[in-house]
Structure 1
Amino acid sequence: MAGQQVQQRVQDFCARFGLRVPILEAPMAGACPPALAIAVAEAGGLGANGVVLDQPERIADWMAEFRAGTNGPCQLNTWIPDEPVDAPDRVRAAEQFLNRFGEAGEPAGPGPVFAEQCEAMLAARPAVISSIMGLFEPDYVERLHREGIAWFACATNIADAMAAQEAGADAVVAQGMEAGGHRGSFDPQTAEQIDVGLFSLLPYLADRLRVPIIAAGGITDGRGVAAALALGASAVQVGTALLRSPEAGIDPAWSAAMEGLSPEQTIPTRAYSGRLGRAVPTQFVEAWTGDGAPLPAPYPDQRRLVGQWRRGGARVDRANNWAGQSAALATTAPAGEIIERMWADARELLA
């Protein structure tokens, strides 16, 4: 009976969102080229793009290229803006610390405007628009649903998940602390304390939520997919599992650093953006944990500063070297093969 319930739950989710496979590409800002999303969609999953850094025209261009390569579905994702933090002393301390890595470049111009990103995503009409770090305003959720676009909301704890459900989310992405990249905590100041593993979070949410749950964090092969579905998820979302594929096209040094990277070696850090995320222990990341290192500046000041020093050619990681705790299981196979193998192995285990 349990196996039949899992099968029915997965079938219902896939039918509702136009999938053949209950595997979603994580919307990783800066690491979701159209080629990767196309490969995932062609394999039967849900492609993705994280647009938090993108101007509206770039969002439109990405979607046009995606649609030229596949008829499959995708999601677009952005961050809910944080409340501004005025911390000039922390910003100055971060600037002084960055000087040890070399000279800064020119400051960047103004970044994208959240409201304009929201309009661009709506105009692009993906199958799903998703949020992280908070919830969309009710009027925007109503507009999404009026256009037939689903809303997936990321949550790292029961309070945020329940709030997302009550706000009208069509599914909740349950993100465990194993996940690579940024942690989706609504409150940026308490992210370190919300340290719940996926396989503790998932059944707890499954017993309490009415909407489907998408499991995210530490899922890199069929065993993780099967376990997540057995614990109550309707689908899984994977990022690190796809990062080393040729379609992702990440920096070779970043890809190589994930080879054999044990779970305990990955580091939760605010060094790249000021928001907490899990990364490869590069020299740059580890420097921010050393004696005398300051706190990184708040988000988005730290992200702005790191970008400025990168433009100056300083010895700063050329990309944010994110990695989940199961990074060692990631392979360099084509993305479509990764998705197909994960699902085939999961089906065998679930049978």
Structure 2
Amino acid sequence: MLEHPVVQAPMAGGTSTPELVAAVARAGALGFLGAGYKTAAATRAEIERTRGLTGEPFGVNLFMPSRDGIDDAAVAAYRDRLLPEAERLGVEPGTPRARDDDWDAKVADLLADPPAYVSFTFGFPSDDVVRAFQRRGAVVIATVTSADEARQAASADALCVQGAEAGAHRGSFANTLGDVPPVRDLVRAVRHAARQPVIAAGGLATAAHVAEALALGAVAAQCGTAFLRCPESGASTVHKAALADPRFTRTAMTRAFSGRPARGLVNRFLAEHSGEAPAAYPDVHYVTSPLRKAGAARGDADVVNLWAGESFRLASDAPAEQVVAALAADA
């Protein structure tokens, strides 16, 4: 049983470090490792590191394998478009690789020794996989962005309801830029359509936000951007600084960095390339990866994916345990 109704969102790419997850867990909330973009072996290593830091329960989030019908010509054209950016940064654009995110190996490894919670993003697995995790004692959570997706995840133990305000990747089952309701409206819609407990996510960054989510019937609030600037976070220095930089004033949805809709601070790269990026995930992620890494190394915030929810200005650089305490103050 959690002491506080707060969930630290799984943030892929190294942001949800074992240190962050363990600190959140020790504070009485639920921390999540993000397994996206990692191999099964790397994910297992992070699980063991986290277990070495805390005996409290935590979760692991998996990306479902991409179902996108990839237009290779569109990806190649986008890669060509980025050649001047790459040349300026002294790198070459990347080339697409495997699209399954090491899914089979991760599922097999997690089933052999599961964490307390397992969540899924970009879709929901077959009932066989879900039941296998449940038989092993894991709580299974589906990320949904509509009432219809909630109905498709009928075998889940709980639903993470991600509203339009959420930072980083939209967890929709399909790679679409269509409208997603605000989290408060979506929680109401999903509670009407589904029987499972609901975790609210999207722009929730204060104790008042958490209390409001609970008043709407959610059992917890999931917060991601609120933890990005914590010292335990694995976000890059340039990313952390941008969240407090007055030069960045708003967020927007974009496929420019990964080929899937994601919310980030509006920087030059997002503004210039969003209109041309194809719906091709994870191919676009691979293409832009060398540019983003070079930008982060240079401290160039204009070419980095600065994922952020709409309440990004409220994120503090306090330790994670203090952030949990602040979020739970009114709960």
C-alpha change, 1:262 and 1:134, in structure 2 (3 Å) is farther
**Superposed CA offset, 1:39-81 (max 9, x none):** 1000001111111211111111101110011011111111112
The answer to whether residue 114 in structure 2 is matched with residue 114 in structure 1 is no
The answer to whether residue 140 in structure 2 is matched with residue 138 in structure 1 is no
Is the 8 Å Cα contact of residues 261 and 327 (structure 1) preserved in structure 2?
A: no
Instruction: Report the Cα offset of residue 95 of structure 1.
Output: 1.0
1:177 aligned partner:
164
Instruction: Report the Cα offset of residue 84 of structure 1.
Output: 3.9
Among candidates 232, 254, 276, match of residue 247 of structure 1 = 232
1:300 aligned partner:
282
Is the 8 Å Cα contact of residues 79 and 93 (structure 2) preserved in structure 1?
A: no
2:49 aligned partner:
65
Aligned with 1:207: secondary structure?
A: helix
**Superposed CA offset, 1:142-187 (max 9, x none):** 11111011100000000001111x2x10000000010000001111
Among candidates 26, 38, 43, match of residue 42 of structure 1 = 26
C-alpha change, 1:55 and 1:304, in structure 2 (3 Å) is same
C-alpha change, 1:326 and 1:41, in structure 2 (3 Å) is same
Deviates more, 1:19-28 or 1:100-109: 100-109
C-alpha change, 1:35 and 1:263, in structure 2 (3 Å) is same
Deviates more, 1:119-128 or 1:43-52: 119-128
Identity of aligned residues (%): 34
Is the 8 Å Cα contact of residues 271 and 302 (structure 1) preserved in structure 2?
A: yes
**Superposed CA offset, 1:170-210 (max 9, x none):** 0000000100000011111x3x2132100111122223321
Is the 8 Å Cα contact of residues 96 and 287 (structure 2) preserved in structure 1?
A: no
Among candidates 73, 76, 82, match of residue 66 of structure 2 = 82
The answer to whether residue 18 in structure 2 is matched with residue 29 in structure 1 is no
Between Structure 1 and Structure 2, which shows a larger proportion of helix residues? Answer: 1
Deviates more, 1:99-108 or 1:31-40: 99-108
C-alpha change, 1:261 and 1:208, in structure 2 (3 Å) is farther
**Superposed CA offset, 1:12-33 (max 9, x none):** xxxxxx3111111101102111
1:219 aligned partner:
204
Q: Distance in 1 between matches of 2:283 and 2:96?
A: 12
Aligned residues: 322
Instruction: Report the Cα offset of residue 272 of structure 1.
Output: 1.0
C-alpha change, 1:42 and 1:318, in structure 2 (3 Å) is farther
What TM-score, normalized by structure 1, do the two folds share? 0.86
Instruction: Report the Cα offset of residue 134 of structure 1.
Output: 0.8
Is the 8 Å Cα contact of residues 82 and 93 (structure 2) preserved in structure 1?
A: no
Q: Distance in 2 between matches of 1:309 and 1:119?
A: 33
**Superposed CA offset, 1:196-237 (max 9, x none):** 100111122223321100000000010110110001101111
Q: Distance in 1 between matches of 2:196 and 2:45?
A: 32
The answer to whether residue 138 in structure 2 is matched with residue 155 in structure 1 is no
**Superposed CA offset, 1:278-311 (max 9, x none):** 001122111214xxx6233611110110124456
Aligned with 1:76: secondary structure?
A: strand
Aligned with 2:82: secondary structure?
A: helix
Aligned with 2:166: secondary structure?
A: coil
Instruction: Report the Cα offset of residue 110 of structure 1.
Output: 4.9
Instruction: Report the Cα offset of residue 117 of structure 1.
Output: 1.4
Among candidates 305, 309, 321, match of residue 306 of structure 2 = 321
The answer to whether residue 273 in structure 2 is matched with residue 288 in structure 1 is yes
Instruction: Report the Cα offset of residue 264 of structure 1.
Output: 7.2
1:97 aligned partner:
81
Aligned with 2:7: secondary structure?
A: strand
Q: Distance in 2 between matches of 1:41 and 1:54?
A: 22
Aligned with 2:325: secondary structure?
A: helix
Structure 2 gaps, min length 5: none
CA RMSD across the alignment: 2.3
Q: Distance in 1 between matches of 2:324 and 2:294?
A: 38
Q: Give the partner amino acid of 2:84.
A: R
C-alpha change, 1:230 and 1:294, in structure 2 (3 Å) is same
